[in-house]
């Protein structure tokens, strides 16, 4: 089965949501960290889970470091989550935050949501009694900066990442991944990096899924040290992209990788009738009506005549 385009994102989002629901089962406190982009569907499911499961405490932290995207996605998120939140927008130390807190029917039922115009940062949270679920849907290259978001110091956590496995520009790809990919594939190189990274940490790779989004080969990879998700199956085997279809998509991508966009072919305009009309004393307006030329084209011909061309 080939996963492509919008369908691919819908499927991967459903898989991540299923992992989250499994992880959240029987937990009292949960912290979720994510990059919602324009969708907000996963974040909406987190809030629904809080109400349905009556989680004692849910903290949902969302990030977007690009200010222009933050501004656009802020309004989208506010609309998607309108049934869950009230808006309290303020600026503090250069960051803009949307904040909310549900009215507490019980002291042990608390919900906090924040949307930050910042790079991902969960270091300030007290994780002694917290369970972290992170989905960082980067969709770009596996750069050092993005890979640094892997945090193996956290306990009872699930961390899910999305990376491109086909790179149009390799300058920011982590060096060991770039070198390994020279003799294998982007997917295998990324998996090798994660395998070495988590060795001896108690974390395991829960699953990896290849898919194609907007003709770009991608990988969704999840790691965890939480026994509630390790060893579980979150999607049917036939959902995974078949080798033949994925290789076909990869071949198409490679074919277009170094192909320069062709400039649109310019249609030459025969300006001889304009020159003849101008020399005959016709006005610009008359030429526009009778010969169906634009005013700019006629003006350029006039200029050439004035210069003696």
pLDDT tens string 86-135:
666 555 665 556 554 444 444 567 788 888 888 998 777 665 557 999 99
- Please determine, for residue 307, whether its predicted confidence score (pLDDT) is greater than 70: no
What secondary structure does DSSP assign to 61-79, as a single string?
A: EEE---HHHHHHHHHHHHH
d(CA 134, CA 61): 9
| 98-107, 128-137, 171-180, 263-272: least confidently modelled range | 98-107
Kindly state the average pLDDT of the residues 282-306: 77
In the predicted model, is pLDDT for residue 240 greater than 70? no
For range 271-290, the mean pLDDT: 83
The percentage of residues in the chain with a pLDDT greater than 90, rounded to a whole number, is 38
Which DSSP symbol is given to 238?
G
pLDDT greater at residue 272 or residue 31? 31
Write down the mean pLDDT value for the chain.
80
pLDDT for position 107: 53
239 pLDDT band, cuts 50/70/90, is very low
pLDDT of residue 152: 93
| pLDDT at residue 149 in the model | 95
Q: Please check whether residue 198 is in contact with residue 206, taking contact to mean a CB–CB distance below 8 angstroms.
A: no
**Residue 18 and residue 5: Cα distance in Å, rounded?**
20
Give the whole-angstrom CA distance, residue 56 versus residue 129. 12
Distance CA(301)–CA(282), nearest Å, equals: 13
Predicted TM-score (pTM) above 0.75: no
Cβ atoms 20, 234 nearer than 8 A: no
Report the pLDDT value the prediction gives residue 188, as an integer from 0 to 100.
95
Q: Are 195 and 201 in contact (CB under 8 A)?
A: no
Between residues 162 and 77, the one the model is more confident about: 162
Residues 138, 144, 147, CA angle at the centre, nearest 5°?
Answer: 50
User: Which residues, 6 or more positions from 56, have their beta carbon under 8 angstroms from its beta carbon?
Assistant: 28, 29, 108, 109, 110
Distance CA 119, CA 105 (A): 34
Q: What is the DSSP letter of 264?
A: P
Domain segments of the chain: what residues? 5-257, 272-306
The CA distance from 111 to 109, in Å, is 7
Q: Express each pLDDT in 131-147 by its tens digit.
A: 999 999 998 999 999 99
- Determine contact, residues 185/205, Cβ cutoff 8 Å: no
Mean pLDDT of 242-251: 51
Distances (CA, A) of 151 to 147, 225, 234, 254: 9, 11, 23, 33
Q: Is 259 helix (H, G, I), strand (E, B) or coil?
A: coil
pLDDT at 170 exceeding the cut of 50: yes
Is pLDDT at 306 greater than 70 in this prediction?
A: no
Return the structure tokens found at 105: 């029917």
Q: Which fold has domain 5-257?
A: Rossmann fold (3.40.50)
How close are the terminal C-alpha atoms of the chain, in Å?
A: 65
pLDDT at 128: 59
pLDDT score for 223: 97
- Structure tokens belonging to residue 270: 């025969």
């Amino acid at each position: 089965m080939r996963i492509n385009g919008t369908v691919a994102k819908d499927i991967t989002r459903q898989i991540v949501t299923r992992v989250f629901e499994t992880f959240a089962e029987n937990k009292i406190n949960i912290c979720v960290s994510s990059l919602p982009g324009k969708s907000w569907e996963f974040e909406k499911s987190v809030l629904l889970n809080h109400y349905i499961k009556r989680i004692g405490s849910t903290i949902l932290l969302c990030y977007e470091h690009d200010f222009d995207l933050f501004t656009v996605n802020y309004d989208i998120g506010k609309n998607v989550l309108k049934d869950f939140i009230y808006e309290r927008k303020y600026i503090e130390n250069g960051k803009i935050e949307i904040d909310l807190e549900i009215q507490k029917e019980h002291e042990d039922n608390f919900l906090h949501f924040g949307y930050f115009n910042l790079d991902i940062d969960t270091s300030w949270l007290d994780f002694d009694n917290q369970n972290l679920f992170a989905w960082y849907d980067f969709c770009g290259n596996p750069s050092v900066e993005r890979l640094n978001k892997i945090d193996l110091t956290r306990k009872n956590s699930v961390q899910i990442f999305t990376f491109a496995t086909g790179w149009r520009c390799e300058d920011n790809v982590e060096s060991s991944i770039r070198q390994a990919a020279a003799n294998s594939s982007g997917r295998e190189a990324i998996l090798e990096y994660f395998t070495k990274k988590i060795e001896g940490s108690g974390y395991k790779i829960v699953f990896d899924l290849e898919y194609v989004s907007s003709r770009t080969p991608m990988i969704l990879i999840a790691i965890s040290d939480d026994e509630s998700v390790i060893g579980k199956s979150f999607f049917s085997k036939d959902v995974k992209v078949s080798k033949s279809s994925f290789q076909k998509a990869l071949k198409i991508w490679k074919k277009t990788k170094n192909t320069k966009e062709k400039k649109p072919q310019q249609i030459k305009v025969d300006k001889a009738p304009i020159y003849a009309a101008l020399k005959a004393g016709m006005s610009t307006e008359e030429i526009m009506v009778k010969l169906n030329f634009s005013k700019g084209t006629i003006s350029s011909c006039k200029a050439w005549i004035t210069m003696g061309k």
